[in-house]
Amino acid sequence: MSEPVSPRLKPYRVDLVDGERYSWCACGLSKAQPFCDGSHRDSFFKPLQFHASTTGPAVLCGCKQSNTAPHCDGSHNNLSEAYEEDERSVAELLSLTSESLFNEQGRAQLDGGCYVQRPEGLQWHLMGGLEVAPVITSVDGAIHLSQYAARLTSKQTEHLSCGMGAMVMYVDKGTVTLHLEGAELPLTERTGVYIKPGESFSLEGSGEEAAHCLFCICPGSFSLQTAEVSNSGGVDELSKRVVAYNPVLVEAMADRFYQVLVGEAVGSNDISQFIGQIPQSKAVPHRHLYEETILILSGQGMLWTENYRAAVAPGDFVFLPAQQEHSLQCHSEAGMELVGHFYPAGSPTINY
Ligand code: FES
**351 in contact with ligand 1, CB cutoff 6 A:** no
Distance 92 CA to ligand 1 centre (A): 29
Give the position, in ligand 1's atom list, of the atom nearest the Cα of 6: 2
Q: What is the separation, in whole angstroms, between the first and last Cα of the chain?
A: 27
pLDDT digits (tens, 9 = 90+) for 64-121: 999 999 999 999 988 887 788 899 999 999 999 999 999 999 999 999 999 999 999 9
* Domain positions in the chain: 12-79, 91-103+246-343, 121-244
The angle at the Cα of 67, spanning 63 to 71, to the nearest 5 degrees, equals 65
Residue pLDDT, tens place only, 242-252:
999 999 999 99
Q: What is the mean pLDDT of residues 140-156?
A: 93
CA distance 220 to 217: 6
Rounded Cα–Cα distance for residues 170 and 56 (Å) = 31
Residue whose CB lies within 8 A of the most ligand 1 atoms, among 33, 61, 287, for a mutation test: 61
Confidence bin at 206 (pLDDT 50/70/90):
confident
Q: What does pTM read for this prediction? A: 0.94
Rounded Cα–Cα distance for residues 281 and 7 (Å): 26
At residue 298, the 3 state secondary structure works out as: strand
Task: Fill in the DSSP letter of residue 249.
Answer: G
Closest C-alpha to ligand 1, atom 4: 72
Q: How far is the CA of 347 from the centre of ligand 1 (A)?
A: 12
CA of 12 to the centre of ligand 1 (A): 9
The residue among 231, 234, 158 whose CA lies nearest residue 198 is 231
* Residue type, position 264, single letter: E
Per CATH, domain 91-103+246-343 is 2.60.120.10 = yes
Whether ligand 1 lies within 6 angstroms of the CB of 73 is answered as: yes
CATH 2.60.120.10 is right for the domain spanning 121-244: yes
Q: What is the mean pLDDT of residues 261-279?
A: 97
Query: Does the fold of domain 121-244 match that of domain 91-103+246-343?
Result: yes
